[in-house]
Chains A and B, each alone.
Chain A
Amino acid sequence: MPKFRMRSFILSSILIVLLFSCKGSKTAVTGEERRPLKSDELISLFKSDSGAFVYKTAVDVYGHYLSGLLIIKNTEPDKYRLVFTTEVGVKLFDFELGPSDFFKVHYCIDQMNKKVVINLLRDDFRLLLMNPLIASEAVVSKDSTHVIYRLRGKKEENAYFYKLDDGKLSKIMTTYGKKSKTKVEILFTDYSGEVPSNILLDHQNIKLTIKMSLLKR
């Protein structure tokens, strides 16, 4: 009996050590601070008064593949127009996103004009455009490579990772639930000036991936 107790004690100690060391390595974070966002923080990458951004874009959704050009234009402060056309020039959708919850479908081809699809795209684009943000207050922290802003919404948390070396946004991540499960992740790479040349948006719980590469700005 004592032998068994001893063993279980050792086992649980090992487990505890393992768990803590895991937790420790995961949150190598210094100086967490909760505060309101400053006016120059978490600014959309696509905020621009000098024309539109054109991305060659491929959408993979449940085995269906769709490709074309995604045009992003900042029309007024905090207002964006997103138009997706096929390579051949057929327009598939034309959305407008604004401050707070403003969202307007100017056009959508019948085959895509379903509430589920449109809401999904709307939420992805809101995240990508950082417009609107889900909170005006953030928990700001640092790890060895990034400054991280965590914004808490009603059900989800959005985290924005800015690289320490060049100050560029490298990742946006949405998590949910007590275990902080990842829902969506957007990776920004190969910056040309202030704009990422490559963007990868990946859903973890549904089969949806959007891959974008910059054609011109």
Chain B
Amino acid sequence: MLLIKKFGFILSLIFGLTTIAFSQHPGFGPLTDSVSFKNNLSKTAKETKTIQSDFVQEKNLSVLAEKIITKGSFMFKKDNMLRWQYTDPFQYLIIMNKNKVYIKDDSRENKYDMQSNKMFQEINNMIVNSVQGNVLNSKDYKIKYYQNEKYYLVDLTPLNKNMKGFLKSISLYFDKKDFTVSKLTMTEPSGDYTNIAFTNKKVNAEIPDEKFHIK
């Protein structure tokens, strides 16, 4: 009796989870060989010196019928230099260079020490590790793998309490052709989510250090 109960519980858990997984990512099936994907990704990441790309960010709030769309550009250079810039419909620039953060909007510039702000640290780690492919080895997330004909989809659920407060999950869509992130979705605990789609990707084009310079 107890065994059946236990078995039933496990069964419902398995079925329950698979239904959730499939309804969350329609059109995606499970990726069984995650090891070869991870190897390919880390191989690509090792060869990646720079990445630049444009992006379109789409914020979906349950209270709003329409989405808030912002656009900009993104640059990454090894090791640990990141430039994230919004140009439409407002100007907003974030530069992360080693352990310094610089933020500029239309009226203000601010500099921070990465060490002084846990959230920046987490965000920086997440982006840099995603770009470099290390995120899949991170112990900070529970990780699940899916695929369809175009993408490898990696679902990250934070385990760390700080991150759980503002992040329910991140889904990274890696292009099967070149193993770069084509889009990502960040879902908040409330269910509101942000989509970021990357276009005009250029890998290993020369980016001058000045782009990441913090005055």
Verify if A210 is at the interface (C-beta below 8 Å from B): no
Which listed residue, B65, B105, B166, touches A58 by the CB 8 Å rule? B105
Asked whether A71 and B63 contact (CB < 8 A) given A87-B86, A216-B89, the answer is yes
Q: Does A189 contact B (CB under 8 A)?
A: no
Q: Number of contacting residues on A, CB 8 A?
A: 27
Of the A-B pairs whose beta carbons lie under 8 Å apart in the complex, a sample of 20, sorted by A's number, is: A51-B65, A51-B66, A52-B66, A58-B107, A67-B92, A73-B63, A73-B64, A75-B63, A81-B63, A83-B63, A85-B59, A87-B86, A88-B123, A91-B188, A91-B190, A91-B192, A94-B190, A106-B190, A109-B165, A110-B165
Instruction: State A215–B89 Cα separation when bound (angstroms).
Output: 7
With a cutoff of 8 Å between Cβ atoms, the chain A residues found around residue B94 in the complex are 88
Q: B70 at the A/B interface (Cβ < 8 Å)? A: yes
Q: Which residue of A lies closest to B57 (CB)?
A: A89
- Would A87 and B92 count as touching, CB distance under 8 A? yes
Contact of B166 among A52, A71, A94, A109 (CB under 8 A): A109
7 more A-B contacts (CB under 8 A) besides A83-B64, A106-B190? A56-B90, A67-B108, A71-B63, A83-B63, A87-B86, A89-B59, A89-B186
Interface size on B, residues (CB 8 A): 28
Q: Which one, B64, B110, B166, contacts A65 given CB within 8 A? A: B110
The answer to the question of A69 belonging to the interface, with a C-beta cut-off of 8 Å to chain B, is yes
The proximity string for B residues 32-44 relative to A, scoring 1 for CB distances below 8 Å and 0 otherwise, is 0000000000000
